[in-house]
Amino acid sequence: MKFADLGLSDELLNAVIAKGYDTPTPIQAQAIPSVLMMKDLIAIAQTGTGKTASFVLPMIDILAHGRRRAMMPRSLILEPTRELAAQVAENFEAYGKNHDLKMALLIGGVQMGDQVKALNDGVDVLIATPGRLMDLFERGKILLTGCDLLVIDEADRMLDMGFIPDIETICSKLPTNRQTLLFSATMPPPIKKLADKFLSNPKYIEVARPATTNTNIAQHKVPVASNRVKREVLRHLLKADEVQTAMIFCNRKTTVRELAKSLQRHGFAAGEIHGDMDQSARIAELDRFKDGGINILCCSDVAARGLDVKGVSHVFNFDTPWHPDDYVHRIGRTGRGGATGRAFTLVAPEDQEAIENVEKLTGAKIPVYTVDLGKAEKPERAERKPRAAKEPREAKAPREERAEKPRQDRPKRDGTKPPRAESRGKSRREEEEVDEPGVWNGPVPSFLGVSAL
């Protein structure tokens, strides 16, 4: 089957061919005709199988007919992360270049001014993360009553990030007779419940069993003695396995930062991306990775879903993911578009339960890969700052000399102070005039009078 057999317009087919595609993936071949027929859809497919084009392509042809209005988008695509939203926007620009369609991207981490202006000018498709969309809706900057097509992308990730209540609220603001498309790599019960509530007689497409992994990816689990030696094992694999480009996933943002700095110290061209970085920094780092400025990207799970980076040869799980579903998405960054890839998961004793949960979810044992470090470098330790040089202490006088040294006088109990050391701190006048003890030589205060003396 070719894209020309799916019922897409000639303008759209020309844009697809210009991107270098002529044969649809299984999910595209099944989903695109159903979307063009205006049916609700639930599509389950492995990550990296072309789900984005499955809804972007038919949406462009559907939106080609109609008129946009200010503040009232005609269609809405919900994405869990800013990176995914930006990626879908890039797809719309590329495939819709032969159509007169306006798009707006609503994501956090950037100023609202340009987003509000785009909405006021009128948009055909609105690509948004739930948080920013809810914010603008509550400010009265957007109306959803004219939205006839809703796409919920990466629905299981939405569940993990706690967006389901926001999605339910958003769905309640949309027209009831809309078309709704739900795409996901996995189908946990809460997502099925959401689909039953907001989709009308949907067509169910499943091109792979939920939570299965891509057969083009060679998977390995690497036993390590402890978390302390993980960096050493990782460096060994990066050098020994002919790594071209790699994404390394960690469970914590602090681990991402520390690991990236460690790899840089050892001469690797490594960068980092995690949730604590602002949006412009995350985009810049991702662009450096795509353009070849760096070939290793240390990531948190913010980069685990849906990001399409061409030519990623390896994925490393520095930490075994806490949620087994995340394993499927992480390793899906390699082996995309029919290419082959390799995935390594470093498993310390404390990761044993997590890796067992992954194998239970995927229904397959991950082959063990043994690393023989031999005389490799010792595990890296935290760098210590050099101590500041201390000044040599003065040699103490002999005990006999210290005993002869007069003890410094202290104030007496009656409040009188001992005489100061001679000429120390005195003015010239004080040095010349020495008072007799017990005799007042100064002027007489007026309140005392002469008789008081």
pLDDT in tens, 308-335: 777 899 999 999 998 887 898 889 888 8
Residue 35: inside a domain, yes or no? yes
Residue 141: inside a domain, yes or no? yes
User: Same domain for 149 and 179?
Assistant: yes
CA neighbor of 105 nearest in space, from 120, 273, 123: 123
User: Same domain for 226 and 307?
Assistant: yes
The pTM of the full predicted model, rounded to 2 decimals, is 0.61
**Which of 151, 182, 206 delimits the end of a domain?**
206
User: Same domain for 143 and 49?
Assistant: yes
**Which of 183, 206, 229 delimits the end of a domain?**
206
Express as a percent the part of the chain with pLDDT over 70: 80
CA neighbor of 246 nearest in space, from 329, 313, 292: 313
Residue 431: inside a domain, yes or no? no
| The pLDDT value given to residue 136 | 93
User: Same domain for 80 and 173?
Assistant: yes
DSSP per-residue letters across 77-96: EE-SSHHHHHHHHHHHHHHT
Question: Residue 433: which pLDDT band, with cuts at 50, 70 and 90?
Answer: very low
Residue 367: inside a domain, yes or no? no
Q: How many domains does the chain have?
A: 2
User: Same domain for 108 and 224?
Assistant: no
Range of the domain at 114: 3-206
Residue 391: inside a domain, yes or no? no
| The pLDDT value given to residue 453 | 42
Express as a percent the part of the chain with pLDDT over 90: 53
Residue 105: inside a domain, yes or no? yes
User: Same domain for 192 and 129?
Assistant: yes
- The pLDDT tens digits of the residues spanning 13-32 come to 999 999 888 899 899 999 99
Judged against a pLDDT cut of 50, whether residue 435 lies above it is answered with no
Residue 421: inside a domain, yes or no? no
Compute the mean pLDDT over every residue in the chain, rounded to the nearest whole number: 83
- The pLDDT tens digits of the residues spanning 229-272 come to 999 999 999 998 889 999 999 999 999 999 999 999 999 999 99
User: Same domain for 247 and 292?
Assistant: yes
**Domain containing residue 222: CATH number:** 3.40.50.300
Mean pLDDT of 339-365: 92
User: Same domain for 77 and 179?
Assistant: yes
Judged against a pLDDT cut of 80, whether residue 132 lies above it is answered with yes
User: Same domain for 179 and 260?
Assistant: no
Contact 58, 8 (CB under 8 A): yes
The position carrying tokens 């200010």 is 70
> 340 phi and psi, to 5 degrees?
-100, 160
Contact 107, 69 (CB under 8 A): no
| The pLDDT value given to residue 111 | 81
Q: Where are the alpha helices (DSSP H) in 161-216?
A: 164-173, 189-198
Residue 223: inside a domain, yes or no? yes
- d(Cα 96, Cα 60) in Å, to the nearest integer? 6
**Which of 206, 231, 255 delimits the end of a domain?**
206
